[in-house]
Structure 1
Amino acid sequence: MARRYVETLPGGRFRLIERNGGVPVLDRVVTELPDAWADLAAVAARRPSPILPGLPDDRPLVMGVINVTPDSFSDGGDRLRPEDAVAAGEAMLAAGADILDIGGESTRPGASRIPPAEEIARIVPVVAALGRLAPVSVDTRNAATMQAALAAGARIVNDVSGLVHDPAATSVVADAGCPVVLMHMRGTPATMHAHAGYDDVVLDVYDELAERVARAEAAGIARGRIIVDPGIGFAKTGAQNLDLLRRLGVFRGFGLPVLVGASRKRFIGHYGGAAEPKRRMPGSLAAALWAAINGASILRVHDVAETVQALLVWRAIAGR
């Protein structure tokens, strides 16, 4: 059966895409929509509902990354002590972060699993402290960790597996009634490098995310609680990451908030000439601004103050 997609483009334009199988049979840009495409375009143009009460819904939200891990690709070991992680979170909030995303297990390429009990021990003190100050998201694939973090004060679940890794995770999120980020990934962090074969990376990722969204809804998770993330850097090559960012407007077709996490990723270093992750801030800002201009609702970043400043200047130039 043919599938249709509407990609929202700057300047009030739309790309209409239709494919039957892997290859598009229609791909054209229009300024006026045919009647048969109007419903799809209306969903793509709709402003997503606020993620949580009290958070701004007129600009992209900035989600600050706090990894309480020894082995994350960019900042592993920097905030392994709870007091260091809490201090980092407080600094991010002072710099303008809207949400803090706290993770206790690395999902960098090639990373191995750790027991949920160890993950819980790392993050719960940090979640409890920072959850009193701002909305906290827990970055985990494990249902037990989700439960512990939500009990400690987390308000959002961010699962890189899209609620696929742990069979119990969907029920935890449904019972909690909290927002959830469904990210696209194939395989696991240890194996994902072998799963980057796509007919069309943008449309294939969209379809696979659509399956995760449908599965979540069928399990009782309200559609208005779902955030989608195309999974930059997860089972994608550098060129595929560029394609996902270049055509981010396709993902507005869900009518849901879109999260983009490109900060300090390997492709930034490749195209920006920066081998060391902590030297990738300028390239990360470029990716974040591109995502904001093309409809991202949440930017997951390491460099909060710099991202907030860049967004302020962009909005001032754009008159927003």
Structure 2
Amino acid sequence: MTINCNGKLISLDQPKVMGILNVTPDSFFDGGKYKDETSILHQVEKMHIEGATFIDIGAYSSRPGALEINEETELKRILPIVSLIKKNFPNTIISIDTFRSKVAHECIGNGAAIVNDISAGLQDEKMLSTVAKLNVPYVMMHMRGTSQNMQKQTDYKDILKEVLYFFSERLAAAKALGIKDIIIDPGFGFAKNLEQNYELLNHLELMNGIEHPLLVGISRKSMIYKIVGTTPDLALNGTTALHMVCLQKGAKIVRVHDVKEAVECVKLYEQLNA
């Protein structure tokens, strides 16, 4: 199981860690933390040293109720960061967290390698065809609606069946256009309430039947800190506990704020399964 990232084949036979770099002022955990070149480069270097395989850059906050920004603002935020990282760390495998085809196109043209789309192509009708032309790995996530209204769209009859059907439909659309390397993300926290998140997690192994690599993003989310009665700042221990569950259920990429702890979790998982 490999994906082609700018000509480099990355094996997902062993789980990999994707470090998060949010360059937004309003992300739920690290909003506004990385707003100058020094802090950005320091964080990227830190994530490399700690063992991240991928760096996922986002310039549009997708937290529930986040303010919408236009395409021009997103590009203005993200393009200089992609160029900065590729200049200083040219071997970095950059993933772009965007649902906009123009942002994806411009960032890939500046050296990024992966498109990570929370809408699976549903918020921009040109996204799938753009990814197909770019010939890059594509992460498609399950959600309903937009970041602004998704928490009002949790009326599932059977969340497991509906998520699986969603992927069957979106995968068919992507493959019809020639997209090859596709990764699926069940979208924890996106148009799902607390109980639905745990129902999905409890049966996460069913996603393996789709036969595409599985990415999970649960790092410091409310499904963790609401259960243990804390805040995102104090949710690392709970995050690590659930990362092990995800790995045991087949996750191949964990998308995280805390690379060191996630890499340690992967090492322990691999030893358990040696």
Provide the C-alpha distance between the structure 2 equivalents of 1:69 and 1:193, rounded to a whole number of angstroms.
21
1:238 aligns with 2:191: no
| Structure 1: gaps (5+ residues) | 1-47
- Match in the other structure for 1:12: none
Could you say which residue in structure 2 is the equivalent of 1:121? 76
> How many angstroms apart in 2 are the aligned matches of 1:58 and 1:220?
23
Q: Which residue, out of 46, 49, 53, partners 1:98?
A: 53
The whole-number CA distance in structure 1 between the counterparts of 2:113 and 2:73 is 21
How far the C-alpha of 1:55 sits from its partner, in A, is 2.5
Matched, 1:270 2:226: yes
Query: Are 2:41 and 1:75 aligned?
Result: no
Name the amino acid aligned to 2:253. Answer: I
2: CA distance between counterparts of 1:220 and 1:271?
Answer: 42
Shift of the alpha carbon at 1:267? 0.9
Q: Which residue of the partner structure matches residue 133 of structure 1?
A: 91
- The offset of 1:244, in angstroms, is 1.1
Summarize the Cα distance change of 1:228–1:145 in structure 2 as closer, same or farther, 3 Å threshold: same
Q: Secondary structure at the match of 2:175?
A: helix
Residue 192 (str. 1) matches residue 147 (str. 2): no
Q: Distance in 2 between matches of 1:152 and 1:245?
A: 36
- 2:2 is the alignment partner of 1:49: yes
Residue 209 in structure 1 maps to residue 162 in structure 2: no
Q: Write the distance in 1 (CA, Å) between the matches of 2:168 and 2:154.
A: 18
Q: CA–CA distance in 1 between the matches of 2:120 and 2:114?
A: 13
What TM-score do you get using the length of structure 2 for normalisation? Answer: 0.94
Cα 1:90/1:96, change in 2 over 3 Å = same
Q: 254-263 or 110-119, which moves further after superposition?
A: 110-119
What's the CA shift string for 1:208-254, capped at 9, x where partnerless? Answer: 121111111122322xx111111000000111111111111111111
- Between the aligned partners of 2:268 and 2:140, the Cα distance in structure 1 is 30
Q: Distance in 2 between matches of 1:319 and 1:296?
A: 14
Relative to the length of structure 1, the TM-score reads: 0.81
Correspondence for 2:126 among 168, 174, 193: 168
Please provide the CA RMSD for this pair.
Answer: 1.4
1:274-307 superposed Cα distances (whole Å, 9 cap, x missing partner): 1x21211011111111111110111001010111
Q: Which has the higher contact order (CA 8 A, sep 6+)?
A: 2
Secondary structure of 2:109's counterpart equals helix
Whether the aligned pair in 2 keeps the contact of 1:68 and 1:82 (CA below 8 Å) is no
Residue matched to 2:267: 312
Q: What is the DSSP-based 3-state SS (H/G/I as helix, E as strand, rest coil) of the residue aligned with 1:55? A: strand
* 1:319 CA displacement: 4.5
| Separation in structure 2 between the aligned mates of residue 78 and residue 290 of structure 1, nearest angstrom | 29
Task: Give the corresponding residue for 1:40.
Answer: none
| Corresponding position: 1:66 with 2:13 | no
Partner of 2:245: 290
CA separation in 2, counterparts of 1:209 and 1:115? 28
Answer yes or no: is the 8 Å Cα contact 2:3–2:137 preserved in 1: no
- Give the Cα–Cα distance (whole angstroms) in 1 for the partners of residues 176 and 13 of structure 2: 30
Flag the 1:177–1:54 CA change in 2: closer, same or farther, 3 A. Answer: closer
**Native 8 Å contact 2:2 2:10 kept in 1:** no
Q: Quick check: which has more Rg, 1 or 2?
A: 1
- Aligned-partner Cα distance in 2 for 1:234–1:103: 16
**Which amino acid letter does the alignment assign opposite residue 182 of structure 2?**
I
Equivalent residue in structure 1 for 2:114, among 145, 156, 168: 156
Of 202-211 and 124-133, more deviation after overlay is shown by 124-133
Count of residues in Structure 1 that have an aligned counterpart in Structure 2: 269
Match of 2:67 in 1: 112
Q: Is residue 141 of structure 2 the alignment partner of residue 183 of structure 1?
A: yes
- Distance in 2 between the 1:50 and 1:123 partners? 24
2:239 counterpart of 1:280:
no
In structure 2, stretches of 5+ residues that fail to align are none
- Shift in CA distance, 83/194, structure 1 to aligned 2, threshold 3 Å: same
